[in-house]
Structure 1
Amino acid sequence: MLTIHHLGHSQSERIVWLCEELEIPYKLEKYTRDPVTRLSPPELKALHPLGAAPLIEADAILLAESAAIVEFILARYGHGRLQHGPDHPDFASYLYWFHFANGNLQPVMGRSMFIGRCGLAPDHPIQVSVQGRLDKVLALIEARLAQNDYLAGSAFTAADIMSVFSLTTMRLFHPVDLKPYPNILAYLQRIGARAGYQRAMAKGDPDLTPMLT
C-alpha cells in the first residue's frame, strides 16, 4: 500500500488531496513541525537527509518532491484521470500550470515571506522588486481564471492540486490579501467545495481552517 509521510501545514497536503481525488487507498503517517524552528521533526529527517515532506513509500520506493510524487501517482494509479495527454487541446496549458506552481508561484511566495521578515521599508528596492513579482504572478493567475474555471481549462486537474497550497495554506506563514483578485477567490471557493479537498484537509490537517477567502 502507498504510504504518505505528511508534515502538517505543508505542501504535502497536495499528495493527500490527490489520493482522495483519485480515491486510492493509502496509509497516512503524520508529523508535526518543530514548535521553535517550524521545520521537520527528527523522525522525518531519519527518512530523508533533508527532512523532506511530502515523502511517499510504494513498493520499496522512497520518493520525495511533491511534483515528482504527483507525477508518480498519476502514472501508476491515475489511469488518465486529473491530467491531459498529448492529444488533448489543453495539454500545453496543463503542463504550463502544473509546473508554474513550483516554478513561479511558490518561489515568489517564499521570497516575499523571507524578505518580509527582514523588516525592510516598503520602498526598499528589494522589497519593491519582490512585491512587484508577486503582483505579476497573482495577476497572471487572476487573468487565467477569468477565462477558465480551472488552471488547465474547464476541467479540474493535478495542475490545480499543485497550485492551491500556495494560495491557501502558505498564507498562514505569509499573509497575502487576495481581495484584489476576485477570480482567484471564486476559484478557491470551487476548490473548497470539492469533497476530495474537504476529506484531505480533514484527514491531514484537522487543526487547520483552509484559507479560501
Structure 2
Amino acid sequence: MITVHHLENSRSQRVLWLLEELGLPYTVKRYERDPRTMRAPPELTAIHPLGKSPVITDDGVVVAETGAIVTYLTAKAAGALVPALGTAEHARYIYWLHYAEGSAMPPLLLKLIFSRLASGSPWPLRPLVRRIADTVLLGFVDPDLRRHAAFWESELADRPCFCGADFTAADIMMSFPLEAFAARGTGTGPQVRAWLDRIHARPAYRRALQAGGPYAYASTGWSPTA
C-alpha cells in the first residue's frame, strides 16, 4: 500500500492529487510544521534522511522528490496522465515535469527568503538587511518572476493545458509554483488564473484537499516549503 507522508501546505499536496487522478489506493500520514520555524518536523527524517516532504513509501520502497514520485506513480498506473512516447505532447511533458521544480520554484523561494530576511534579523541590523533584501528583490528576483509569469501566459494562451489539449501529470507538477505565485498576489495573468480555476474545479483536486487537510495555496497565503 502506498503511504504519502504529507506535510501541511507543501508540495506533497500534488502527490495526493495525482493519486486521486490515477485512482490508486493510498493512505496518508500527516505531519505538521514547527509553528515557530515553519520547518518540517524531525519525525520525517525517519522516513528519508533529508526529512523533507513529499516522500512516499510503497511496500518497502521509499521515493522522494515530487518529479520522481510522479514518474513512479504514473508508471505504476500504466502510464496514465502521460502523453504517448514520440509525440510533441510527450516532449512538452518532459519539459514541464522538470521545469516546475528546476526553473519555476527557485525564484519563488528566493522571493520568500528575501521577503522575510529583515524580520528575522537582529533589530539594529534590520534597516541594512532590508535595503539589501529589497535590492536583490527589485533587481533580480522580481524581474525573473515577471519573465516566468509572461512565459506561462504565452504558453497557456494557445492550449488549455501545459502539454496541449489534454490534462497530464505535468499540470499537477505545475500547480504548486503557480498557486504559490498567485497566493503572493504578484500579478497573475488571465490565462494562468483561468488555468487555476480549471484545475481547482477538478473532482480529484477537491478529493485531495479533503485527504490532505487545509491547503493555503488553493486560496491565499504563503508558507515556506519543507
TM-score by length of 2: 0.85
Name the structure 2 match of 1:147: 158
Deviation at 1:140, TM superposition (A): 0.3
* Cα deviations by residue, 1:20-74 (Å, 9 ceiling, x for unpaired): 0011100111111111111111211222222111111112111111111110111
Q: Tell me which moved more, 19-28 or 161-170.
A: 161-170
On the 8 A contact 2:8/2:214 being kept in 1, the answer is no
Q: 1:5 aligned to 2:5?
A: yes
> 1:125, 1:19 → 2: CA distance?
39
On the 8 A contact 1:169/1:211 being kept in 2, the answer is no
> 2:211, 2:131 → 1: CA distance?
38
> 1:48, 1:209 → 2: CA distance?
25
Name the structure 1 match of 2:122: none
> 2:217, 2:52 → 1: CA distance?
24
Name the structure 2 match of 1:117: 116
Name the structure 1 match of 2:126: none
Aligned pairs for 1:75-114 (under 5 A) are 75-76=75-76, 78-114=77-113
AA of the residue aligned to 2:200:
G
Name the structure 1 match of 2:142: 131
SS at match of 2:99: helix
Name the structure 1 match of 2:56: 56
Q: Using CA pairs under 8 Å that are at least 6 residues apart, name the structure with larger relative contact order, 1 or 2.
A: 2
**Percent identity over paired residues:** 38
Q: 1:168 aligned to 2:176?
A: no
SS at match of 2:94: helix
> 1:42, 1:171 → 2: CA distance?
30
Equivalent residue in structure 2 for 1:185, among 184, 188, 193:
193
Name the structure 2 match of 1:195: 203
AA of the residue aligned to 2:185:
V
Structure 2: which 5+ runs fail to align?
118-129, 221-226
Name the structure 2 match of 1:158: 169
Deviant stretches of 4+, over 3 Å: 120-123, 169-172, 206-209
Structure with the largest fraction of helix: 2
On the 8 A contact 2:114/2:133 being kept in 1, the answer is no
Deviation at 1:11, TM superposition (A): 0.2
On the 8 A contact 1:115/1:127 being kept in 2, the answer is no
> 1:41, 1:143 → 2: CA distance?
39
> 1:36, 1:200 → 2: CA distance?
27
Residues paired across the two proteins, number: 208
On the 8 A contact 2:162/2:171 being kept in 1, the answer is yes
> 1:178, 1:85 → 2: CA distance?
34
* Cα deviations by residue, 1:170-199 (Å, 9 ceiling, x for unpaired): 765xx23334x1100000000011001011
> 1:55, 1:25 → 2: CA distance?
16
Structure 1: which 5+ runs fail to align?
none
On the 8 A contact 1:116/1:127 being kept in 2, the answer is no
